[in-house]
């Protein structure tokens, strides 16, 4: 049996009055107002239409149908007496001549009310995601995602990029996160890995002579969830350009992204080219983070020298760094300040100190007694009468991080310091090539190991000879940041095998290990590779910003929960012993 409909539930208008139509959809609601009189709301993908039942025969049909069943309604369109201007179809209704049950909902009680599903427990929503997606507000995010992806494809194609898909089953490689491993049936004891990103493949495409590549690429990383990161699977606008510099990549992104943000975003103002360029070290000093929200006009100031002059306050005297965040017009109560400092501590791991400057320029509250006599120095650091300052003290990383969180929270709490309704982009550039690993205590790559160092082979050889500090080597790496969210990382790639080997030697990997871990890339570079550069903005994060959502799971059709579980499909799940035997796997019992 086939079903047809003449119109959708969001289509009918006054011009359709008198027509006989057939609509199909879900029975959203029924309101009985008499023995043989009821109002039905029929909903499909496109909208809702009111249906008025007025006969005993049709009332008998309707009484046997639960809400959220699918039905077909054939009837005549008429003008509504009581119009609803908030509804696109609010001027008409359908008087049915036939109602047919297409798919019965067999439950009287639903896990949640469809139009209020966003208020339900998240795990319940994810278990019944097919019901959650019936909520027009939830569905709208999926529609937005589709529109944005289509626009990205169109604009990248217009920029001369060719869409090429890369493998999903590949080799495991050290790229910064845990791999998802897939056992091989034909090769006992060996594994494929799901790609953390198409990094090596897109570089190989450049060496193969493809000039401009892109794809909406699925990426897989076994990492913990957070507000702007979904565990397991995510998508990015992956792109790479041959014979390109950092500025070439910036130029493309600055043409592609602002129109999309202005068109589809919750706000219609987006930064225009060129975006601000901020060096990594400057970002950390001024904003306490390499993901600054430039909608906030506050900055961190260094008061380490002043803090050393204070008497009797050990946290200032002993700190390696002290950062102050002055904020004018902060008419907050003591209770509000204490709450703000506690919230900063939750995010940063340490609590900031605070001090006020009253309208007469005198210090009060918090650590005022330790700073007394230094009012003029504080004014040079940005404090003005009527201002509040939060102060972070500790080692360099701690002071910057606490100051950065304090800046963000002050900007949101004090009126006039944050222009919320806009998208502010910036490039963070000149990242350190190397860092000392927190866990290992050894020299490690700071970001992408495939990046070109600023100074090339010469600076790496100097570091090897002890003539340069590896921590002072910078790379042609860059991040694209919007409203405090890192949209993507990118780099000018290291396309010279000699430079590649030398960079890995500094972190303890010899040429043989580089060849073993990255055989295709190393070999390709030995056959004449072009200079190339690229970037990969996260599609999920982009849509999250455009939709004005706080959680990335709100813009993913079928997301996992925070524990990397698909509650709807019950994944991960156990498999049979036969399946394990076929791929040569034995479960080791704890």
> How confident is the prediction for the chain on average, in pLDDT?
94
pLDDT digit string, tens, across residues 23-32: 999 999 999 9
Domain 14-103 annotated CATH 2.60.40.10 = no
With cut-offs at 50, 70 and 90, classify the pLDDT of residue 1.
very low
pLDDT digit string, tens, across residues 289-299: 999 999 999 99
Q: Which helix (H) or strand (E) is 252 found in, with range? A: helix 246-264
Classify residue 287 by burial, with Cβ atoms within 10 Å: 0-12, 13-18, 19+.
buried
CA distance 358 to 400: 26
Q: Give the residue-averaged pLDDT of 298-302.
A: 97
Domain 137-269+534-563 annotated CATH 3.30.930.10 = yes
Name beta bridge partners: 45.
none
pLDDT digit string, tens, across residues 565-578: 999 999 999 999 99
CA distance 126 to 559: 7
User: DSSP string spanning 519-584?
Assistant: HHHHHHHTTTPPPEEEE--BHHHHHHHHHT-S-GGGGSSS---TTS-BTTTTBS----HHHHHHTT
pLDDT digit string, tens, across residues 94-120: 999 999 999 999 999 999 999 999 999
DSSP letter assigned to residue 489:
E
Enter the pTM of the model.
0.91
CA distance 168 to 185: 17
With cut-offs at 50, 70 and 90, classify the pLDDT of residue 447.
confident
**In this structure, CATH architecture of domain 296-413:** 2-Layer Sandwich (3.30)
CA distance 96 to 38: 11
Query: What pLDDT, on a 0 to 100 scale, did the predictor assign at position 174?
Result: 67
Share of the chain above pLDDT 70, in %: 99
CA distance 61 to 364: 74
Question: Which tokens go with 402?
Answer: 């606490």
pLDDT digit string, tens, across residues 500-551: 999 999 999 889 988 888 899 999 999 999 999 999 999 999 999 999 999 9
Q: Evaluate whether 326 touches 381 at the Cβ level (below 8 Å).
A: yes
DSSP letter assigned to residue 277:
E
CA distance 404 to 414: 16
Query: What pLDDT, on a 0 to 100 scale, did the predictor assign at position 481?
Result: 97
Q: Which helix (H) or strand (E) is 261 found in, with range? A: helix 246-264
CA distance 377 to 303: 9
Higher local confidence (pLDDT), 368 or 450: 368
pLDDT digit string, tens, across residues 314-365: 999 999 999 999 999 988 999 999 999 999 999 999 999 999 999 999 999 9
For the chain, the domains span 14-103, 137-269+534-563, 296-413, 425-529
């Amino acid at each position: 049996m086939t079903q047809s409909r003449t119109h959708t539930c969001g289509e009918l208008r006054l011009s359709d009055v008198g027509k006989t139509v057939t609509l199909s959809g879900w029975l959203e609601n029924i309101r009985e107002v008499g023995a043989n009189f009821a109002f039905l709301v029929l909903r499909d993908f496109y909208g809702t239409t009111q249906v008025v039942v007025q006969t005993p025969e049709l009332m008998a049909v309707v009484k046997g149908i639960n809400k959220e069943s699918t039905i077909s309604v054939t009837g005549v369109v008429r003008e509504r007496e009581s119009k609803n201007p908030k509804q696109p179809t609010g001027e008409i209704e359908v008087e049915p001549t036939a109602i047919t049950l297409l798919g019965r909902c067999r439950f009287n009680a639903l896990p949640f009310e469809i139009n209020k599903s966003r208020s339900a427990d998240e795990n319940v929503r994810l278990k019944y995601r097919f019901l959650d997606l019936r909520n027009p507000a939830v569905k709208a995010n999926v529609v937005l995602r589709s529109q944005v992806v289509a626009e990205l494809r169109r604009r990248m194609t217009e920029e001369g990029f060719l869409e090429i898909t890369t493998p999903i089953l590949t080799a495991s490689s050290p790229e910064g996160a845990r791999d998802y491993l897939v056992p091989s049936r034909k090769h006992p004891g060996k594994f494929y890995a799901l790609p953390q990103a198409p990094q090596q493949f897109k570089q190989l495409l450049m060496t193969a002579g493809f000039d401009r590549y892109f794809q909406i690429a699925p990426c897989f990383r076994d990492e913990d969830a957070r507000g702007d990161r979904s565990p397991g699977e995510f998508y990015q606008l992956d792109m790479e350009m041959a014979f390109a510099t950092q500025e070439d990549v910036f130029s493309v992104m600055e043409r592609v992204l602002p129109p999309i943000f202005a068109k589809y975003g919750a706000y219609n103002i987006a930064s225009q080219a060129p975006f601000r360029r901020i060096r990594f070290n400057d970002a950390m000093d001024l904003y306490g983070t390499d993901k600054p929200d430039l909608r906030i006009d506050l900055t961190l100031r260094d008061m380490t020298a002043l803090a050393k002059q204070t008497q009797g306050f050990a946290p200032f005297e002993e700190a390696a760094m002290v950062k102050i965040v002055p904020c004018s017009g902060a008419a907050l109560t003591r209770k509000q300040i204490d709450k703000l400092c506690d919230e900063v501590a939750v995010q940063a791991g340490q609590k900031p100190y605070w001090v006020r400057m009253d309208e007469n320029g005198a210090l009060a509250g918090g650590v005022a007694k330790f700073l007394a006599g230094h009012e003029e120095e504080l004014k040079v650091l940005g404090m003005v009468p009527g201002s509040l300052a939060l102060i972070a003290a500790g080692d360099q990383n701690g002071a910057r991080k606490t100051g950065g969180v304090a800046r963000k929270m002050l900007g949101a709490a004090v009126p006039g310091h944050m222009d919320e309704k806009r998208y502010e982009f910036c490039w963070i550039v000149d990242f350190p090539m190397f860092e000392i690993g927190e866990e290992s205590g050894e020299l490690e790559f700071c970001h992408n190991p495939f990046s070109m160092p600023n100074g090339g082979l010469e600076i790496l050889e100097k570091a090897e000879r002890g003539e340069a500090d590896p921590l002072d080597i910078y790379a042609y790496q860059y991040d694209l940041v919007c409203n405090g969210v890192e949209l993507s990382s990118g780099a000018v790639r290291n396309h010279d095998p000699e430079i590649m080997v030398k960079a890995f030697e500094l972190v303890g990997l010899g040429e043989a290990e580089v060849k073993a871990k990255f055989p295709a890339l190393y070999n390709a570079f030995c056959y004449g590779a072009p200079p190339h550069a690229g970037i990969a903005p996260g599609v999920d994060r982009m849509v999250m910003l455009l939709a004005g959502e706080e959680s990335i799971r709100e813009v993913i059709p079928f997301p996992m929960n925070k524990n990397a579980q698909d509650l709807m499909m019950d994944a991960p799940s156990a498999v049979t012993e036969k399946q394990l035997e076929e791929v040569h796997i034995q479960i080791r019992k704890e």
